Each structure stands twice: as C-alpha cells, then as structure tokens.
C-alpha cells in the first residue's frame, strides 16, 4: 500500500482515514542484526510563528546496521505551513527523499512523528512507512493527544498511552534517570515489536541512535546551508 503525498488538506484527511482503516500483515523482524534507519527534518531558523509554507528545509536519514552508519541529506522547501495533525503535507516529501537517497533499504524506519496517536489515528510515522512500504515506528518527546502516566524509573520500564480506551503507544524509559520517550507503532508494527526495536537502537542517550544521527546531520546541513 504505497500512499501518495496529498497536495491539499482535504486530500490528506481522506488519505489518513484510509490509512487508519488499513490492516496490513504485521511485520516480524528477521533473525540477526537489523538495518535500522532514522529520519529527521528541520527548517530555517529565525522565523516567527509555527512554520510557513515554502521555507527552506533540510532532511536527513541515517542507516545503522552492520556497516558504518550511512547518512543521506536533502534540502527543499516546506510544502505547507505547520499544522498539528497535518505534518504529512509539510514534512512528508522531504523525509521520503532523504530515506530514498540512502544507499540501502532499511529493514525498519524510526520517525520523529506519531502513529496512531493522532486525531484520525494516522500520523506521519505511519503515513511515511506506508508511502515507502517500510515498517515504521514513531519516536517523540511527547504524545500528541494520547495520555498516560510515566513509567517507573527503571531501564526499559513502560506505561501505555491511550486515547479513550484504545492503546495507541507507550511511554518508554530507555535508561534510569532520564525522561521517558513516547513510542508509536507505525506501519505494520505492533507495540511489542516497536518497543524492542527502540530499546535495541538506544545506546547511551535518550534518543535512539539512528534518529540522533539523522537529527545531527540535518542540523549540521542547515548550519552549513547545504545538502
């Protein structure tokens, strides 16, 4: 199910409803090391307000696996102004371009966005995975609309994030003494698999290594004004 990037808000709402109702076969990791990628996008500094259409943007993807980390960076323009729940309009094409520029296809993709924690249960992490046909997981500092108590201060502790009675993700404490992160199952991934992959990808920092490297690469490209 390769879902295109809509050009209008109305088209995106329809695409999100289609994604939310889709039931693809769940992905199961193969035995052995996985090639895990992270992707991140940032926009020009110094502007006032949440973000405008056509402002310059830098997106990076970092692929971590057996080989040395491979990084791809692209630059372009925001396709839409920032609006909560509509990030696919603004960020989706740039993130897709960065992932496609990687020299190898990831087994799974980490995205700085939500999945089912979304007004229409189809956030950018889910949409991007469906678009690329790559299993995907969202990792964010905060949930979007879901709520849940923080987990215990123990490595690997977690607690559910819910919208009404539906579990849409979880808080995960990667290490003792750090704030938990929100983990969002995306395209073809259940919560147990998402947690296992995020924990395996998180080393001595709060952010999983592929996402951390992609974030740094995007910000360094922005500082240099290049891609």
Q: What is the CATH number of the domain that holds 72?
A: 3.30.2170.10
Q: Is 14's pLDDT higher than 90?
A: yes
Whether the model clears a pTM of 0.85, i.e. scores above it, the answer is yes
**DSSP state at residue 215:** H
Q: Is residue 79 domain-resident?
A: yes
SS3 content of the chain, % helix, strand, coil (to 5): 30, 25, 50
Counting the structural domains of the chain, the total is 1
- Mean pLDDT over 95-121 rounds to 97
Q: Is residue 191 domain-resident?
A: yes
Separation CA 196–CA 29 (nearest Å): 10
CB 77 within 8 A of CB 89: no
Q: Is 211's pLDDT higher than 70?
A: yes
pLDDT number for residue 212: 96
Domain range holding 128? 9-24+35-224
Q: Is residue 158 domain-resident?
A: yes
pLDDT number for residue 68: 84
Kindly report, residue by residue over 159-168, the tens digit of the pLDDT. 999 999 999 9
Question: Residue 70: in which H helix or E strand, if any?
Answer: strand 70-77
pLDDT number for residue 46: 61
Q: How many CB atoms lie within 10 A of CB 103?
A: 9
Separation CA 33–CA 227 (nearest Å): 29
Q: Is residue 2 domain-resident?
A: no
């Amino acid at each position: 199910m390769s879902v295109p990037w809509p050009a209008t808000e109305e088209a995106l709402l329809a695409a999100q409803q289609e994604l939310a109702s889709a039931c693809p076969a769940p992905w199961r990791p193969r035995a052995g090391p996985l090639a895990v990628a992270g992707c991140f996008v940032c926009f020009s500094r110094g502007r006032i307000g949440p973000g405008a259409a056509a402002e310059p943007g830098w997106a990076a993807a970092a692929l971590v696996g057996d080989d040395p980390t491979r990084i791809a960076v692209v630059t372009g323009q925001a396709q839409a102004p920032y609006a909560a729940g509509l990030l696919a309009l603004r960020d989706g094409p740039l993130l897709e371009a960065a992932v496609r520029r990687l020299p190898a296809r990831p087994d799974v993709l980490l995205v700085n966005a939500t999945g089912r924690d979304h007004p229409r249960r189809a956030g950018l992490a889910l949409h991007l995975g469906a678009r690329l046909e790559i299993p995907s997981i969202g990792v964010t500092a905060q949930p979007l609309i879901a709520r849940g108590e923080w987990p215990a201060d123990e490595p690997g502790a977690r607690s559910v994030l819910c919208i009404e009675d539906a579990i849409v993700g979880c808080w995960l404490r990667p290490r003792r003494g750090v704030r938990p992160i929100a983990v969002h199952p995306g395209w073809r991934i259940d919560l147990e698999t998402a947690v296992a992959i995020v924990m395996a990808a998180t080393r001595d920092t709060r952010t999983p290594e592929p996402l951390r490297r992609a974030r740094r690469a995007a910000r360094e490209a922005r500082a240099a004004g290049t891609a």
